[in-house]
Amino acid sequence: MHLASGPGDQSPASEAPDLSVLVVDDEPMLAEELADGLREEGFVVATANSAIHALAALRADPRIAVLVSDIRMPGGTGLSLAAEVLGKEPEASARSVILITGHGSMDQAVEAMRHGVSDFLTKPFSLEDAVRAVRAAMQRTRARRAAAADRAAADIRLQRAEATHIELSNRLTEALGRLQAARPSLPPEVDETENRLRLLAHELRTPLVPVIGFAELLEGGHAKTPQDARSYGHHLREAGERMLETVDKLLTWERLRGDQRRPAETVDAHGLLAEAASRTRRLAEAQGVRVALGPLAGPDLRVEVEVEVIAAALAGLLDNAIRATPDHGTVELGAEQAGNRVRLVVRDRGPGISPEILADPGRPFAVQGPSLSRKRDGLGLGLAIARLAAERHGGRLSLRARPEGGVEAALDLPSA
């Protein structure tokens, strides 16, 4: 048994010298003849004259990617050698087997295919037949090894992203532990600050895991097809939109707490509701929820408001309602005259809302407990923004539990 390469290794048809071929035949002259022909085509080729020697070579050299073996040899058949090779190799070191026979039968073919043999060469065969079979087998093996390497690299990157997630979580837990230890000496408002920090950290940290993971996959060139790239991009966009939504809510809430105001405009109530529906259309489609914009209860329902402020408040109420509504459910939007006020109403059929939130609607960073099985956590700023927006215009936010289930949220605003 020996490994040799001929001048043909530099041929343009070379399959690259990182992977090689092993030719096995109990007649050394035949093995060398085939090996020389393959070398002239650019393959790196070793030979072996028995199944025992072939197994030793395969175990010693993981670069051997294609085994070309006579089907009948003393000390072990080509079928038994194929079964040994193909039954134990992981995909990262996958190999292909081509069997040579001069008396092939249907039974042998079935047995060979059962073991995973990729091709047959029936004597007599030409060098062109052998080159064609070996080149196809080499390409299949290279593709399998590359796919296995991609999967392994993806697993590593996802593990790193998860490790980053765990590290961030541990650091937060450690910081909260120090705060807990110091609590006896701290003023009562620290409890509220701690809860706000915990919520904010959760909302910002959760989408960071897919952002880091899928960004690393793209950076590492693991999007092998346009479909992969679109899938990774979709997950990145979703995570980015969630982070942007969190930041936008924080900025809106902080801005409404200040004194800076924008010019008020007299607008149609129906237009405000339509704008809120437009802002949450993608969420509603993703959640499988229909948003029904009902008729106005009364002529010419108009309000004088800071349009962006009220539109953001309504979108926040609608966002909450969509997330609380079961799949294929409906959220209702409507407007009605109530004395000298206009009521902008959002109704859902969700699991309801806690008595604490009903008693004090709009308290910032107040969130539902896990027992209510909300579809997604949040900062608890949607109602807080709606309350500040209503009070900014001399109105109020009201919540009530619906007898048939769900919640009705309303902004009561002065008529224009």
Q: Do 278 and 360 lie in a common domain?
A: yes
Domain count, the chain: 3
The CATH code of the domain that includes 77 is 3.40.50.2300
Q: Do 138 and 233 lie in a common domain?
A: no
Among 260, 291, 316, the domain-final residue is 260
Burial class (CB in 10 A: 0-12, 13-18, 19+), 328: exposed
Task: Give the Cα separation of 16 and 109 in Å (integer).
Answer: 30
Q: Hey, what are 75's tokens?
A: 């000390």
Q: Do 374 and 277 lie in a common domain?
A: yes
Establish if 37 belongs to a structural domain: yes
Q: Do 225 and 315 lie in a common domain?
A: no
Give the mean pLDDT of 26-35: 89
So what's the pLDDT on residue 34? 92
Cβ proximity of 151 and 140 under 8 Å: no
The CATH code of the domain that includes 225 is 1.10.287
So what's the pLDDT on residue 16? 43
- For residue range 225-246, what is the model confidence (pLDDT) as tens digits? 777 777 877 777 777 777 777 7
So what's the pLDDT on residue 397? 92
Task: Give the Cα separation of 135 and 119 in Å (integer).
Answer: 11
The residue among 36 and 183 whose pLDDT is bigger is 36
Domain that holds residue 365: 265-414
Task: Give the Cα separation of 336 and 332 in Å (integer).
Answer: 13
Establish if 80 belongs to a structural domain: yes
Q: Do 269 and 403 lie in a common domain?
A: yes
Cβ proximity of 409 and 276 under 8 Å: no
Q: Do 24 and 120 lie in a common domain?
A: yes
Among 206, 236, 260, the domain-final residue is 260
Kindly report the average pLDDT of the chain as a whole number.
77
The identity of residue 70, as a single letter, is D
H or E element in which residue 345 lies: strand 341-347
- For residue range 136-160, what is the model confidence (pLDDT) as tens digits? 999 988 888 888 888 888 778 777 7
So what's the pLDDT on residue 361? 74
The CATH code of the domain that includes 301 is 3.30.565.10
Q: Do 323 and 243 lie in a common domain?
A: no
- For residue range 98-107, what is the model confidence (pLDDT) as tens digits? 888 776 555 5
Give the mean pLDDT of 235-263: 76
Establish if 188 belongs to a structural domain: no
Establish if 184 belongs to a structural domain: no
Q: Hey, what are 104's tokens?
A: 């092939």
Q: Do 89 and 125 lie in a common domain?
A: yes
Establish if 215 belongs to a structural domain: yes
Establish if 396 belongs to a structural domain: yes
- Res 61 pLDDT > 70: yes
Q: Do 286 and 251 lie in a common domain?
A: no
Among 127, 146, 165, the domain-final residue is 146
Query: Cis omega before residue 124 (within 30°)?
Result: yes
Establish if 344 belongs to a structural domain: yes
So what's the pLDDT on residue 12? 37
Q: Give me the sign of the Cα torsion angle 215, 217, 222, 227.
A: negative
Q: Do 296 and 255 lie in a common domain?
A: no
Q: Do 284 and 410 lie in a common domain?
A: yes
Q: Do 13 and 71 lie in a common domain?
A: yes
H or E element in which residue 169 lies: helix 127-182
